Amino acid sequence: MASAIALENATSLLRDGKPAAAAAALGAILAREPRHPTAAHLMGLALKDTGDWDQGEQWLRFSIQLEPNQGEFHANLGNLLRKKQNYEGAEQAYLEALKRLPNHRAARRALALTLHDLQRPAEAEKHCEILLQSDAGDAEAWEIHAMALTALGRLTAAEAAHRRAIALDPGNAVAHHNLGALLVELERPEASKALEAARTLGADGYEAAYNRGRAAINEGDLEQAEREFEKAAALQPLNAEAQQTLARLRFMRGDPAFARTLGDAVRANRDNVPLQRLLAELLWQAGELAAAETLLRDLVKRNAGTAAVSSTLALVLLDQGRADEAEAHALEAAAAKPDGAAVAFNLVTILIARGRAEDAEPFIAAQLERNPLAQDWLAYDATVARMLGKGRYGELYDYERFVRVFDLAPPPGFASMTDFNRALSGVLAERHHFSRQPLDQTLRNGTQTSRSLLTDPDPLIQSALRLFREPIEEYRRALQLPPEHPLARAAQHTLQFTGAWSVRLRREGFHVNHFHPQGLVSSAYYVDVPEEVQDQALRSGWIKFGEPRYPVPGLIPELTVQPQTGRLVLFPSYMWHGTNPIHGPDTRTCIAFDVRPEAT
């Protein structure tokens, strides 16, 4: 039998951070007793700590064969499989451990964390509840519980759980960081404090820098945001999230070399197709069509093109007026990825622009069968119906019923809407931090607020949001529709805000024709408008309905609505809408929001 002294010596070496020496000592024991379960298990742990995870796994599994009822053996195997990101295997190992040792807290915590990684937060929450029922002072269990609650969308409870974890273990950098990340998502000003606490405790990697950048944007500190995103991109130069966010921020700040960091990464990693495609997409969105085309054609030339590459190239060509070439690439993309919704959408965009409604119709029908309430596909469903003279168009685009104009009365404390909107305009002006429009939006020659108005605590902004509730409810009540109509859900359920923002147009500012994919009912509320909107012939800054994104012969706007200070316009989110440019020096400021039914 292996001597207790030899095993204790190997264990001490392992505990002291000397896994190679421990493995050597264990090898001597196993040479004499090759089926010694404890020695085999310790060998697996030692090899794991040397970085040889595959050999470590083999020894751990061998020890379990020798002693299958050792719960600790299963738990340690689960820990190694988690390191290897084999979460399914880790789950099974932890379950085996808990069969034998139901009170093994570390195994249950690790199982909850693994279930979270497997995107099964409800199951993770149940295991956290078991842990907390027996020990409400388990800080680690509270933190895992918070993560599960966040994934379940129970954000208030998640915040409380994060704070409980921190109260129990103030030095937990992960808990401070995760609380900060949640507060960033909620656009709360305390986010920066939590993230700084995490940095003080040593959490200063990619995610920490990225979330600090997001927090800085919410606070309007664009210089700090750019510094943090630069750090995130430096830490992970191949991370598309970091590169895209940094480029977009620089673009909105007016930086002509907005994509320089991404360009450096692409040149240093020419075989990275997603990164090169991202650079092409950003250049395309910025209007640098020739440069975007060059990058995409380079991928195709090197046989590195994918369906996504061909599909993006198709839209770049369409924007250059080369619809025939665009269609060829869009068809190639659809053949390579027939079930891809984005690929199908781009193909349909091109087919409609070329007047090929009948060819587009089957793609639209297939996507609506999968998601009957997809606002993007409803927009194209209506467009094709209009082109083909089908009654479906009238069902979706009943302007008299579905586009409603409300001239609002002032809230308490204001004698007129002019007074209220003058004050509101000043508050909104302080929130327009950028010098250019978002790179991925339909706005041109204007700016958009950097954070959602829904979470803005300013009383004037919240007062405006309250003003909108009565007309939203009136709009909802007036809808009398058959259950199969896409707007029927709006009539059946209370409508809740899903997003709210402010847009300011400058000289030659306008919105490209678009729809709102995240809403069911959308809006435009006019805070202040230039005098030129009074010109009934020019109709500068007027909102227009019915015209698709790309010109189609005969599909001109069918309805325009004049902006007036204090006017709210409500309409279906799937309805194509845009604005005529304003031409003078005065700006036009509005608030836009989307609402969806409370019950989803």
pLDDT in tens, 479-526: 989 999 999 988 888 899 999 999 999 999 999 999 999 999 999 999
pLDDT digits (tens, 9 = 90+) for 168-191: 999 999 999 999 999 999 999 899
Could you tell me the pLDDT band of residue 2, with boundaries at 50, 70 and 90? low
Say which residues have a Cβ less than 8 Å from residue 328's Cβ, sequence separation at least 6: 314
Specify the pLDDT at position 5: 86
Neighbours of 537 (CB within 10 A): 5
Q: pTM for the full model? A: 0.90
What span, in angstroms and rounded, lies between the C-alpha atoms of 471 and 13? 73
Q: 210 near 245, Cβ under 8 Å?
A: yes
pLDDT digits (tens, 9 = 90+) for 16-71: 999 999 999 999 999 899 999 999 999 999 999 999 999 999 999 999 999 999 99
Mean pLDDT of 194-221: 96
What span, in angstroms and rounded, lies between the C-alpha atoms of 393 and 381? 8
> Which tokens belong to 234?
């430096």
Q: CA nearest 558: which of 358, 435, 394?
A: 394
What span, in angstroms and rounded, lies between the C-alpha atoms of 199 and 455? 25
b/e for 259-282, b at 16 or more Cβ within 10 A? bebbbebbeeeeebbebbbbbbbb
Say which residues have a Cβ less than 8 Å from residue 351's Cβ, sequence separation at least 6: 327, 330, 357, 359, 360, 363
> What structural domains and CATH numbers belong to the chain?
172-236 (1.25.40.10), 400-597 (2.60.120.620)
Bridge partners (DSSP) of residue 579 are 543
> Which tokens belong to 590?
């509005």
What are the distances in angstroms from CA 524 to CA 351, 479, 581? 30, 19, 15
Q: 37 near 67, Cβ under 8 Å?
A: yes
Q: 447 near 435, Cβ under 8 Å?
A: yes
Amino acid letter, residue 429:
A
pLDDT at 600 over 60: no
Which one-letter DSSP state was computed for residue 514?
A: B
Enclosing H/E stretch for 37: helix 37-50
Could you tell me the pLDDT band of residue 599, with boundaries at 50, 70 and 90? low
Specify the pLDDT at position 4: 82
Residue appearing with tokens 């700084």:
196
Specify the pLDDT at position 434: 96
What span, in angstroms and rounded, lies between the C-alpha atoms of 568 and 589? 13
pLDDT digits (tens, 9 = 90+) for 135-168: 999 999 999 999 999 999 999 999 999 999 999 9
Enclosing H/E stretch for 51: none
pLDDT at 1 over 80: no
